């Protein structure tokens, strides 16, 4: 959070997660090398490195891109989101190994600079069949490098969350470039139809997941709240919200998280100041609303991060009439204290 920039906190969960990533990568690389040695022993060590690193990076990229929509569809995937950056940096590291070894192997022996050679050694840019497929791969690698370098919260704060998020949405462009790099490259020379099927299945799976998640979000945004009175809208009954949990409502184009904490109801803006995480999908831990994405915390009564942290979000007026929660969608300035609303029936 904003008080200082410290080294990554290697809590138990992150260590476990990183251990799983490392074990998966090492197992994959060993299996890849083993199968290559059995079925294609004439492959050189450099080629083995190029192929194993690239295939693993593509698999990880698919997992990374699936985590976001999976979390929006099923909250049980949220721990993956909490740790996603480590997976992203690992994926870039593997992609970089593939890129460096490929450039050295395929372009280092020419009479022009290897990086320039990637773009000019084959100039059939007007032909799909003979397209210089390494160019889209190289551009994707640059995008992934920028994302990996700026993945730390230091850059998030200095670039502003909005710019940082915009920058990191270029991962979708990188993904499209990687798909075409594969399709116009190795697929043109390895005729095994399994490769095409895998690429196609991976892409379609991601597209379906993202569109399903978008549809779910759209339903939330378009839910009609018709009961209105003195600037307040009726959102739900008290019993609809579990203690320490929230429900999210989209009122006048803004998402608001209505939380139940102990015997009171509070409302705060749904968007976390860190990376725009959905605060209403989190829960109250240690008396604080905790963002499900990266654990940023806010006090329910004033929307402020507990000292010494400085983040704060808007709060909203709430009242309870006949066990129904009524919300005023006009936000108070960020960090404004609200007493919350209490039901007469609590404690009975």
Partner 1 sequence: MTKNLRIRHRQIWALMALLLPIGILSAWLVIPNHEPVKILKPREQVLLPVIAYTAGTEHFQARVRTNTDRSAWQLEWINKTILTTPSAVIYKIKGETFAPESAELIGRIETQGRYIFSLQPDSTGWVGTRLILYDFIHAQRTDSIKF
Per CB under 8 A, which of residues 148..177 are in contact with partner 1?
A: 165, 169, 172, 176
Look at the block and give the residue holding tokens 């978008």: 214
Find the distance separating the first CA and the last CA of the chain, reported in whole Å.
Answer: 40
Owner of token pair 């998020």:
165
Strands (E), 5-61: none
Residues 107 and 118: beta-carbon distance below 8 Å: yes
Q: Does 44 bind partner 1 (CB under 8 A)?
A: yes
The stretch near partner 1 (CB under 8 A) out of 51-59, 250-258, 260-268, 325-333 is 250-258
What is the rounded CA–CA span in Å between residue 329 and residue 252? 7
By CB under 8 A, residue 122 contacts partner 1 = yes
- Build a one-symbol-per-residue string for 253-272: x at contacts with partner 1 by CB under 8 A, - elsewhere: xxx---------------x-
Q: Determine the interface stretch with partner 1 among 53-61, 185-193, 228-236, 330-338 (rule: CB under 8 A).
A: 185-193
Give the integer Cα–Cα distance in Å for 336 and 211: 37
d(CA 220, CA 140): 34
**Binding of residue 196 to partner 1 (CB under 8 A):** yes
Q: Which of 34, 115, 221, 242 contacts partner 1 by CB under 8 A?
A: 221
Contact 296, 1 (CB under 8 A): yes
Min CB(322)–partner 1 separation in Å: 31
Which of 27, 40, 74, 205: binder of partner 1 (CB under 8 A)?
40
Closest approach of partner 1 to the CB of residue 323, in Å: 30
Binding-site member from 18, 153, 217, 324 for partner 1 (CB under 8 A): 217
80-109 residues near partner 1, rule: CB under 8 A: 105-107, 109
Q: Helix and strand tally (H, E) in the chain?
A: 11, 11
Backbone angles phi, psi at 168, to 5 degrees: -80, -10
- In three-state secondary structure terms, 170 is coil
The helix-helix angle for 171-184 and 134-149 (nearest 10°) equals 150
Minimum separation from the CB atom of position 2 to partner 1 (A): 19
Query: In terms of residues, how long is the chain?
Result: 348
- Residue 132 in contact with partner 1, rule: CB under 8 A: yes
- Token pair 């939380």 in the structure block, residue: 259
Question: Which helix (H) or strand (E) covers residue 104, if one does?
Answer: helix 84-107
Q: Among 21, 179, 288, 318, which residue interacts with partner 1 (rule: CB under 8 A)?
A: 179
Q: How far is the CB of 106 from partner 1 (least distance, A)?
A: 5
- The interface with partner 1 within residues 272-301 (CB under 8 A) comprises 276-278
Separation between Cα atoms, residue 90 and residue 184, nearest integer Å:
25
Show contacts with partner 1 in window 57-76 (CB under 8 A).
Answer: none
The residue ranges that bind partner 1 (CB under 8 A) are: 39-44, 46-47, 105-107, 109-110, 117, 121-124, 128-130, 132, 134, 165, 169, 172, 176, 179-180, 183-184, 187-192, 196, 199-200, 203-204, 206-207, 210-211, 214, 217-218, 221, 250, 253-255, 271, 276-278
């Amino acid at each position: 959070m904003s008080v200082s920039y410290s080294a990554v906190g290697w809590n138990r969960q992150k260590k476990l997660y990183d251990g799983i990533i490392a074990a998966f990568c090492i197992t994959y690389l060993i299996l890849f090398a083993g199968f290559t040695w059995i079925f294609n022993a004439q492959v050189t060590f450099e080629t083995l490195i190029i192929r194993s690193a690239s295939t693993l990076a593509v698999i990880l990229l698919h997992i990374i891109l699936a985590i976001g929509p999976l979390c929006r569809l099923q909250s049980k995937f949220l721990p993956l989101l909490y740790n996603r950056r480590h997976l992203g940096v690992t994926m870039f590291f593997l992609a970089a190994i593939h890129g460096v070894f490929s450039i050295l192997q395929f372009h280092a022996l020419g009479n022009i600079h290897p990086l320039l050679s990637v773009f000019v050694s084959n100039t059939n840019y007007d032909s799909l069949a003979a397209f210089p497929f390494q160019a889209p791969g190289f551009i994707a690698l640059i995008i992934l490098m920028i994302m990996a370098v700026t993945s730390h919260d230091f850059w998030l704060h200095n670039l502003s969350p909005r710019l940082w998020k915009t920058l990191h949405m270029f991962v979708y462009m990188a993904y499209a470039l990687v798909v075409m790099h594969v399709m116009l490259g190795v697929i043109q020379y390895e005729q095994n139809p399994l490769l095409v099927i895998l690429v196609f299945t991976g892409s379609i799976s991601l597209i379906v997941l993202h569109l399903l998640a978008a549809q779910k979000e759209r339903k939330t945004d378009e839910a009609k709240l018709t009961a209105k009175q003195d600037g307040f809208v009726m959102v739900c009954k008290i019993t609809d919200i579990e203690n320490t949990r929230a429900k999210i409502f989209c009122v006048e184009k803004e998402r608001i998280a209505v939380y139940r904490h102990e015997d009171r109801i509070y409302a705060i803006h749904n968007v976390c100041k860190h990376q725009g995480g959905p605060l209403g999908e989190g829960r109250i831990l240690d008396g604080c609303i905790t963002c499900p994405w990266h654990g940023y915390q806010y006090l329910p009564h004033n929307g402020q991060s507990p000292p010494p942290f400085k983040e704060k979000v808007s709060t909203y007026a709430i009242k309870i009439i006949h066990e129904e929660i009524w919300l005023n969608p006009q936000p108070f300035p960020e960090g404004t204290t609200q007493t919350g609303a209490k039901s007469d029936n609590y404690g009975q």
